Amino acid sequence: MKKIYLVLGLVAGLSLSSCSLDSEPSTSLGEGVAITTESDLQYAVNGIGYLMSEDRMLYGSEFGLYADLLTNEFKYVDDYGQSTAIARYTLTKFDELPEYAYADMYGAIANCNKALELSEALEQTETVDKLRGQLYAWRALLHFDLARLFAHIPTAVDDVNAANSGIVLSDHVVAPDFKGDRATLAQTYKQITDDFTQAMNLLEASKDEKKETGYFNYYAALALRARANLYAGKYAEALADAKEVIKDGGYELYTPSNYVKAWEQEGTSESIFELLITANYNAQRNSLGYYTDASGYPEAALDEDGNILTYLKATPADIRSKMIKEQAVKGVAGTHFFPAKYPGREGLYVNNPKIIRLSEVYLIAAEAELKGNNDGAKAAFYINEIEKNRVTGYTDVATVTIDDVIAEYEKEFFAENQIAFAYWRNKKSITNQVNNVISYDDNQTILPIPQREIDFYPGLVQNTGY
């Protein structure tokens, strides 16, 4: 059972042991750790990536598929009791998966805060600025994903200033007995975007440097700020951020000639930020590859009656139709179709989750044009750019609707933790794998705060219904 990190001042893994993400870190240095050199700070940054790469309900594990498993586009072929509680919406405040996400994400945030505090004593060189920028970006991303799990999406609620509507915020080192109250959604998303902005300020001097797999650069922070602004309903800001990434970031959309191979490779042309998974640091049997293959836990297959599989099977001119594999599951009749996005570099366990890609930035721009400017024609430009790089013989469309944008999320981002969120932030319901309709404002769209947190601090407000 995971230890929970409401005690946001603990330092459970600064991992000060290597400049390379391929080397083994130490994860038990605790309060006595010192950061006295740039190398120490580099090791601390590496440690955050390690913490996010191995455990359950994180980016390389169930959370990487979370928003897909919530929909009836996916199905579990056989129930190994691993991710199926997500699909059935039966996770409780006593279950392990919410505890894993809560513990590890807040633990990593605590490490960010400690490293930022200790790094203030260093000479503020360009290298130190870049490393501090990494920590601010991680802190922003972790708060954002905690908010997606444990709080409603701002565009799906009536009052973003309602008390306790957000999450507990952690922006500095606190005492071990600290007990934090939940912020509002407005406060939560302000800290997220402020942290991304601070990261960009620190990373700006290196914006023209070659991107490095597993690390943020200026444009990664900017793209993720665009995503956060979209969720917050700040459409003008989201559009401006997205346009800058598209125009100046130096990324290129995959084409039909390189789309399939991109899923076997690291640091590809579209990948703005991806987590570096290695043979030593991965989620093993709870990894993305293991859930999406008949030889593993076959709990993330595509449903035969879903929009995604129906489209892909009927549209061979779309290169994305190559991203499904038909397999037989031992002991289960017939064959089934699984996503082919996680083939593994050294076995099924080793796949880098692409946290944000250029295609998503195009869709952020399209959605922001529609929601902010009611301009279907301008939104169509971004959809057309993706589609003509996916579908042989594609003909541009003159205008699109929000339903077209959501459909593009389904086609482009299946098995990448996007689908349910795209519906809910646009105030649309989904149907889950057991055929229950889940409204965008249903309390089932968010997870319970782990009971251990409530036991530690009874004043912490639990999500309604748990």
Q: What is the pTM of this model?
A: 0.94
Amino acid found at 241: D
Low-confidence ranges of the chain (pLDDT < 50): 1-30
Q: Residue for token digits 């952690």?
A: 170
Q: What is the pLDDT of residue 32?
A: 60
| Residue entry with tokens 């912020």 | 183
The whole-angstrom distance between residue 445's C-alpha and the CA centroid of its chain comes to 16
Spatial contact of 125 and 38, defined as CB atoms under 8 Å apart: yes
Count other Cβ atoms within 10 Å, centred on residue 356. Answer: 22
CB 453 within 8 A of CB 4: yes
Taking only Cα atoms into account, the Rg of the chain, rounded to an integer number of angstroms, comes to 21
Q: How far apart are the first and last CA of the chain?
A: 20
Rounded Cα distance, 4 and 362, in Å: 37
Q: Is 338 exposed, middle or buried (CB count within 10 Å of its CB: 0-12, 13-18, 19+)?
A: buried
Q: What's the pLDDT at 207?
A: 86
Question: Token match 């930022």: residue?
Answer: 116
The full set of domains in the chain, from first to last, is 30-281+351-456 (1.25.40.390), 284-339 (no CATH)
Distance CA(82)–CA(45), nearest Å, equals 30
Residue type, 76: Y
Residues sharing a CB contact under 8 Å with residue 306, sequence separation 6 or more, in sequence order = 71, 72, 73, 74
User: Could you give the angle at which helices 402-413 and 307-314 cross, rounded to 10 degrees?
Assistant: 70
- Give me the chain's average pLDDT, please: 92
CA distance 465 to 320: 39
Q: Which residues contact 440 (CB under 8 A, 6 or more apart)?
A: 153, 156, 423, 424, 425, 426, 427, 428, 429
Taking Cα atoms as reference points, which of 191, 20, 202, 4 lies closest to residue 106?
4
Amino acid residing at 342: Y
| CA 221/CA 241 separation, integer angstroms | 10
Query: What angle is formed at CA 323 by the lines to CA 252 and CA 278, rounded to 5 degrees?
Result: 75
Rounded Cα distance, 266 and 320, in Å = 19
Residue at token pair 């740039």: 38
pLDDT tens-digit series, residues 149-196: 999 999 999 999 999 999 999 999 998 888 999 999 999 999 999 999
Nearest to 271 by CA among 290, 300, 240, 249: 249
Q: Can you give the three-state secondary structure of the chain, one letter per residue? A: CCCCCCCCCCCCCCCCCCCCCCCCCCCCCHHHCCCCCHHHHHHHHHHHHHHHHHCCCCCCCHHHCHHHHCCCCEECCCCCCCCHHHHHCCCCCCCHHHHHHHHHHHHHHHHHHHHHHHHCCCCCCHHHHHHHHHHHHHHHHHHHHHHHHHCCCHHHCCCCCCCCCCCECCCCCCCCCCCCCECCHHHHHHHHHHHHHHHHHHHHHHCCCCCCCCCCCHHHHHHHHHHHHHHCCCHHHHHHHHHHHHHHCCCCCCCCCCHHHHCCCCCCCCEEEECCCCCCCCCHHHCHHHHCCCCCCCCCEECCCCHHHHHHHHCCCEHHHHHEEEEECCCCCCEEEEECCCCCCCCCCCCCCEEEEHHHHHHHHHHHHHHHHCCHHHHHHHHHHHHHCCECCCCCCCCCCHHHHHHHHHHHHCCCCCHHHHHHHCCCCEECCCCCEECCCCHHHCCCCCHHHHHHCCCCCCCCCC
Are 214 and 21 spatial neighbours (Cβ–Cβ below 8 Å)? yes
